């Protein structure tokens, strides 16, 4: 079943964050330029803005990991092979016991200490 015009507009706004007035202006321009239905114009604008792409937004689940900041360069053996961390990076032990290095700046932006 085809999606109705308002559903398409809502989907585009939700996935792209575009302002409704700006979106409607783009849809009307496409409608006038190509002499297509408003629904067809909305689908075209949505594809141009990337609302139909396969990428969706996700938020990391709040899980507790164990980590320690390493003072020296270190090596971690993983199922993918050896991975190296540099002095100052964190050695992380994930929820399934997997170990991996995380760059200091990325770690400190991503994680916060819990009690």
Identify whether 61 is part of a domain: no
Identify whether 70 is part of a domain: yes
Assess whether 45 and 80 both reside in one domain: no
CA-CA distance, 111 to 49, in Å (whole number)?
32
If you ran DSSP here, which 8-state letter would residue 90 be given?
Answer: E
Identify whether 25 is part of a domain: yes
Looking at the whole model, is its pTM more than 0.85? no
Q: Please tell me the predicted confidence (pLDDT) of residue 29.
A: 93
| Tens-binned pLDDT, residue by residue, of the chain (115 aa) | 678 899 999 999 998 889 999 999 999 998 888 888 999 999 999 888 875 555 666 777 888 999 999 999 999 998 888 999 999 999 999 989 999 999 999 999 889 999 8
Identify whether 104 is part of a domain: yes
Identify whether 54 is part of a domain: no
CA-CA distance, 11 to 47, in Å (whole number)?
11
Identify whether 55 is part of a domain: no
Assess whether 44 and 78 both reside in one domain: no
Number of domains in the chain: 2
Note down the domain range covering 97: 66-110
Six-digit token string for 41: 């114009």
Q: Please tell me the predicted confidence (pLDDT) of residue 9.
A: 94
């Amino acid at each position: 079943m085809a999606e109705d015009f308002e559903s398409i507009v809502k989907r585009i706004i939700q996935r792209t964050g575009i302002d409704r007035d700006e979106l409607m202006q783009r849809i009307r321009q496409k409608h006038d330029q190509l002499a297509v239905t408003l629904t067809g114009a909305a689908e075209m604008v949505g594809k141009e803005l990337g609302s139909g792409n396969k990428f969706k937004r996700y938020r990391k689940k709040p899980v507790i990991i164990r980590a320690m900041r390493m003072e020296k360069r270190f090596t971690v053996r993983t199922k993918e092979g050896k991975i190296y961390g540099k002095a100052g990076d964190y050695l992380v032990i994930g929820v399934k016991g997997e170990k991996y290095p995380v760059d200091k700046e990325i770690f400190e932006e991503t994680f916060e200490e819990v009690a």
